[in-house]
Structure 1
């Protein structure tokens, strides 16, 4: 099941992430789900994308 908007994300994700990070999560999840066809793997990849984006943004600020 892909997510069409951030409002479609699970509540646990919406509660943990700001709006921008939710967007990264959603895009990464949808892409990984399409590529691998496994929701569990798509969630892992989406969390990894959020972590990588956060590190990237923090490095740009420093």
Structure 2
């Protein structure tokens, strides 16, 4: 099993629209799509996706 989780802390001034654009680019990026379709999908029996929002007051990272 491989768990792949990425956590970013954005710099001041990054807007929700900026984050939405980033997510769209990552989701639609041809390289990510190719890996997911050609490599990961044939090997995957189950998949669990996790998205969560970290409160702005969280400073544990």
Which structure is higher in RCO with an 8 Å CA cutoff and minimum separation 6?
1
Indicate the structure with greater helix content. 1
TM-score by shorter chain over 0.5: no
TM-score class normalised by the smaller sequence? 0.3 to 0.5
Bigger Rg, structure 1 or 2: 2
Tell me the TM-score normalized by structure 1.
Answer: 0.34
